[in-house]
Amino acid sequence: MAAAVEVLAEVGFDALSVAEVARRAGSTPPAIYRRFPGKTELVTAALREELSLIGFDVPDLGSLRAELLMWTRSVAQALTPERLRIIAALFLASRQDPIPTESLGAHLQSVAVPAWRMVLDRARDRGEIGSLPAAYELIGQVAPAVIVNAALMLRPQDEATLVSLVDAILMPALRASPEPISTASRWNDHD
């Protein structure tokens, strides 16, 4: 699995050869093909294992701001240059085979969204935010997206930017009026 991730980051999905992965893993292509029907399944499984190494979970730190800072820093640390090369390479290969990218995306969501949701649920329980904003998943994409984007453009990510993400964007968005107008009027209908 580690060898597959390594080769993927170096040469991309198109140029990845099962023989090269086998060579680095001290194995043989037939041994790999016994476990995985093909390259797509090998890469998908390798990414799944790689993702399981990323810890998105944030412990209770007593305040929403502290947890958002920790979450944002974890995301920045998780998005290593090697992982960004894998994302870019899979995207380029997705015209021929979208499965590894779709699998990566679904898996990232399934790991990151519950961790994000837990931070917000705790903030609501503490009374720091009114209720879970309708757009909470979209708000959760902001920090990863800005960090990925800066890295793609080779812009260095500094601590001040991560703090600004939390104070100038995430906190205001999470504290904004939680109920859209349409929901508010639906509540009125019940009266």
Nearer to its own copies, 25 or 171 (CB): 171
Cβ count within 10 A of residue 107: 16
Name 69's Cβ contacts closer than 8 Å, sequence gap at least 6.
162, 163, 166
Whole-number CA gyration radius for the chain: 20
Nearer to its own copies, 121 or 179 (CB): 179
Residue 33 and residue 29: Cα distance in Å, rounded? 6
Q: Does residue 84 touch its own copies according to CB under 8 A?
A: yes
Residue 151 and residue 29: Cα distance in Å, rounded? 34
SS3 37: coil
What phi and psi values does residue 2 have, to the nearest 5 degrees? -65, -40
**Nearest approach, Cβ of residue 7 and its own copies (Å):** 14
Is 123:131 a contact under the CB 8 Å cutoff? no
Residue 49 and residue 142: Cα distance in Å, rounded? 25
Q: Does residue 152 touch its own copies according to CB under 8 A?
A: yes
Nearer to its own copies, 21 or 112 (CB): 112
Q: Which stretch binds its own copies (CB under 8 A): 33-41, 48-56, 65-73, 139-147?
A: 139-147
**Nearest approach, Cβ of residue 142 and its own copies (Å):** 6
DSSP secondary-structure letter at 170?
A: I
**Nearest approach, Cβ of residue 31 and its own copies (Å):** 29
Residues 96-135 that bind its own copies (CB under 8 A): 98, 101-102, 104-105, 108, 133-135
Residues 13-72 that bind its own copies (CB under 8 A): none
Cβ count within 10 A of residue 121: 14
Nearer to its own copies, 117 or 175 (CB): 175
Chain residues that interact with its own copies, rule: CB under 8 A: 12, 84-85, 87-89, 91-92, 94, 98, 101-102, 104-105, 108, 133-135, 138-139, 141-142, 144-146, 148-150, 152-155, 161, 164-165, 167-169, 171-173, 175-176, 180
